[in-house]
Structure 1
Amino acid sequence: MKAAVIGLGSMGGGAAQSALRAGLEVTGVDPSERARAAFGNRAVARGSDLEPGQDAVLVLTVNATQARQALFGEAGAAPRVAPGGVLVVSATMSPAEARALAAEAESRGLLYLDAPVSGGAVAAREGRMTVMASGSDEAFAAARPLLEAVSGKVWRLGTEPGQGAAMKVVHQLLAGVHIAAAAEAMALAIRSGLEPRTVYDVVTSAAGNSWMFGNRMAHVLEGDDTPLSAGDIFVKDLGLVEAMAREAAMPVPLAAQALQLFVAQRGLGQGGRDDAFVIRVWQALTGISLPGEAANEK
């Protein structure tokens, strides 16, 4: 299979490497020269630079606007896809945006798979992302070699584009709330004089643990705010949660509160840092010293 991966960031770069290891003929696409060099295989700056006849294109951009530009913009990849080829779009977006992109693909004679992903950079590098997908049987069949290369589990959520996007929005409600709750718990522990490493060890061995607590609070203990997933991502994604909830006439108070905390992280000038460091909102309010940062100051 001749496949392109658009967006060579922490998820896309890992997915491209996984597809390459699986034997696919992969070309990476990213405007960043550094990202292209890190891929270490064929890579181009724009979709229009791809060789003609691509069988599949995996899109791992930040949002729907970037996905549309990467596929259907002036320098987009869609004209380089073979007739009947499949666009596998994994950017987080609203269901309506997914349906609009699918309609555009169909008008061009291309298949479309609404296929958001989860699992983080490590899962992407190891080819075991979770895919939440919806689309036609033909789209799933066309994407199968690519999906098998990059995923550990593919959930088939229906035949209509938009269902995958809706599932990802629900997932991001949980992810955002869990990160905010983990940060709040660790901040309270530090403020109360508990030793952070011990708190981490106790929680991760007990019923109050979550995947996000174990993963993200480890970053806090290390004082490493390298943005594997930036706080600003949750300003966007929890905004999608609120929009979908309004359309459904359903209150989402926990998601709304978590959104405000990530907005506060951005307001502190920290939105581009790792989302675990939403804990700096509590630091700003109370003056607590974070463990990794205290160690780095010595």
Structure 2
Amino acid sequence: MPASKPTVAFAGLGAMGYGMAAHLLNSGFPVVGYDVYSPPMDRFAAQGGAVAQTPREAVKEAEFLICMVATSVQATPLIFDKIIGAVQGLRSDATIIMCATVAPVYIEELRKRLGEIRPDVRLIDSPVSGGAGRAADGTLSIFASGEETHLDHASLVLECMSSKLYRIAGGLGGGSKVKMIHQIFAGVNIAMASEAMGLAATAGLNTREAFDELRIRDGNSWMFSNRVPYMLDPTLGPYSAIDIIAKDVAIITKTSKEYGFPLPVLSTAAQLYILSVSSGWGKEDDCALLRLYLPRQFDLVHELVNASPDPRASGITIGDIETLMMGVHLAAVSEAMSFCERLSIDVDLMFEIVSNAAGSSNIFLETFADMRNGAWSLIAVKGIDQFRRRFSESIDRVSELQYPLFMSSAALQEFHRHLG
């Protein structure tokens, strides 16, 4: 008879967490769910899972505790609260799998604190990527780091939740560093999707036709292809809340400051996310960034899906928009991969991860090799002087529309810095 599967306590039954827990349950793992809100626990119980009223109760019989809460601020009391925290209820040699996206320094602090209280407890740094749909299907990308023996011990659980399980070298914190680099691309590309489609609408283009054309051109990214359909047809979404990407980007910008490493293009996107959250849109889909570009015509992208525009009216073409997208993606590759090397992450592994994940773009795939050989400088890209001229001319044309180019303008400054 096959050995029985270990019991898993799962804390954090949000959009992704619920799918992960349910998939483990459906795959034969005994799962005890916990969340601060009762509705997802009631739903999980109705599906056949066990539930607990506190983290400490949830882990009593569990060999693994998976933490999939939103932030480190939520994770700390879940583990260490003196009354309900899991740490004192964990069985001997239990394993905590931190799947939440947290800063690498938090993983270090967590290991130190566990060592003072429960040195027998194993810790795995294991952020995930892929969204709620892939969470429910068990096809997430997982970036796991920690001691090799601990990763071996947890492999059955990790493999069940993923179609791509990456073991990140360098010990604890490596997984969180890899997730940060990926989220630089994701954060920039989400913001650029809104900038591009807001411009298409402002220029009076048929937005459906603009999207169909742009997604087969060099300026396309995974995020553009994924997010824009919801801009065109709001009944298709929402996909992912602004709060989520805003939190991830805040982790990256804080860490970059600790390293004294500039990330100007991502920092521009970060300000857009901060402004969106402070405007009360945090729980809305991250396509709500469009409102910052179209403050008086929120629904213009949707309204122009069947437009019959005069292509001469604004002077802005699909080629201009593609150029802006390409310029921003080039700048993102430069700063993200430079930071990747600063963090001592294997760049070939990072290429594999980004190429197969939501941070991917045509520009990333096309220019990675040249930029790597040129120490990630934009000057290494073939024909870059001619492209900068084209990029700058497109920005000048758009400026006549009084349309804001937050991302493109930041990227252009990087071109000037690299090329002189």
Does the TM-score normalized on the shorter chain lie above 0.5?
A: yes
Task: Within 5 Å, give how 1:123-142 maps onto structure 2.
Answer: 123-142=134-153
Equivalent in the alignment of 2:334: none
Q: Which residue of 2 aligns with 1:206?
A: 217
- CA pair 29-293 structure 1, distance change in 2 beyond 3 A: farther
Mapped pair 1:64 → 2:72: yes
Residues in 2 aligned to 1:293 and 1:65: alpha-carbon distance in whole angstroms: 41
The answer on whether the counterparts of 1:234 and 1:259 sit within 8 Å (CA) in structure 2 is no
Please give the residue correspondences for 1:100-179 in structure 2 after superposition, counting only pairs within 5 Å: 100-107=109-116, 108=118, 109-179=120-190
Report matched runs for 1:1-298 at 5 Å.
1-39=6-44, 40=47, 41-50=49-58, 52-73=60-81, 74-107=83-116, 108=118, 109-224=120-235, 228-284=239-295, 287=297, 289-292=299-302
Aligned-pair distance for 1:291? 4.3
**Which stretch has the larger CA shift, 39-48 or 258-267?**
39-48
Cα contact 1:85–1:142 (8 A) shared by 2 = no
Alignment partners' CA distance in 2, 1:51 and 1:164: 24
Deviation at residue 226 of structure 1 after TM alignment: 6.0
Quick one: which amino acid aligns to residue 208 of structure 1? Answer: G
CA contact (8 A) 2:127 2:176 kept: yes
Provide the C-alpha distance between the structure 2 equivalents of 1:229 and 1:138, rounded to a whole number of angstroms: 35
**1:208-253 Cα distance to aligned partner (Å, 9 max, x none):** 2211111111222222596542212233222211111112221100
Shift of 1:293: 7.4
Q: Distance in 2 between matches of 1:217 and 1:143?
A: 38
User: What are the ranges of 5 or more consecutive residues in structure 2 without an aligned counterpart?
Assistant: 1-5, 306-420
- CA, structure 1 residues 189+45, in 2 after alignment: closer, same or farther (shift >3 Å)? farther
Q: Is the 8 A contact 1:106 1:112 kept in 2?
A: no
Residue 101 of structure 1 and its aligned partner are, at CA, apart by 1.1
8 Å contact from structure 2 (residues 243, 277) kept in 1: yes
Q: Provide, for residues 12-60 of structure 1, a one-character-per-residue CA deviation record: whole Å limited to 9, x for no partner.
A: 0010011112211111110211111232322223212225231111111
Task: Give me the whole-angstrom Cα distance separating, in 2, the residues matched to 1:258 and 1:51.
Answer: 39
Distance 1:43 1:218, change over 3 A: farther
Any runs of at least 4 consecutive aligned residues in structure 1 with deviations exceeding 3 A, and if so which? 224-228, 290-295
Aligned to 2:415: none
Helix, strand or coil for the counterpart of 1:80?
A: coil
CA distance in 2, matches of 1:148, 1:21: 14
TM-score under structure 2 length normalisation:
0.66
Distance (Å, rounded) in 1 between the aligned partners of 2:298 and 2:86? 49
Tell which deviates more after alignment, 250-259 or 201-210. 201-210
Does the CA contact (< 8 Å) of 1:59 and 1:67 recur in 2?
A: yes
Question: Hey, what's the Cα distance between the residues in 2 that align with 1:44 and 1:199?
Answer: 50
From the superposition, tell whether residues 265 and 291 of structure 1 become closer, same or farther in structure 2 (CA, over 3 Å): same
SS of equivalent to 2:97: strand
Shift of 1:205: 2.5
Change (3 A) 1:49 1:287: same
Amino acid at match of 1:275: D
Give the CA deviation at 1:200: 2.1
Please report how far the alpha carbon of residue 192 of structure 1 lies from its aligned counterpart in structure 2 after TM superposition: 0.8
- Kindly indicate which of the two structures has a greater share of residues assigned to strand: 1
Structure-2 separation of matches of 1:293 and 1:6:
42
Letter in 1 for 2:65: V
1:54-107 Cα deviation digits (max 9, x unpaired): 111111111112112112223122333221111000111111111111223344
- Is the alpha carbon distance of 1:80 and 1:222 closer, same or farther for their aligned partners in structure 2, counting shifts above 3 Å? farther
Q: Distance in 2 between matches of 1:30 and 1:262?
A: 26
Pairwise CA RMSD = 2.0
Which moved further from structure 2: 19-28 or 205-214?
Answer: 205-214
Larger Rg over CA atoms: 2
TM-score (norm 1): 0.92
3-state SS in 1 of match to 2:150: helix
Aligned residues: 294
Work out the percentage of aligned pairs sharing the same amino acid. Answer: 31
Contact 1:190/1:288, CA 8 A, preserved across alignment? no
Q: Is the 8 A contact 1:94 1:240 kept in 2?
A: yes
Name the amino acid aligned to 2:247. Answer: K
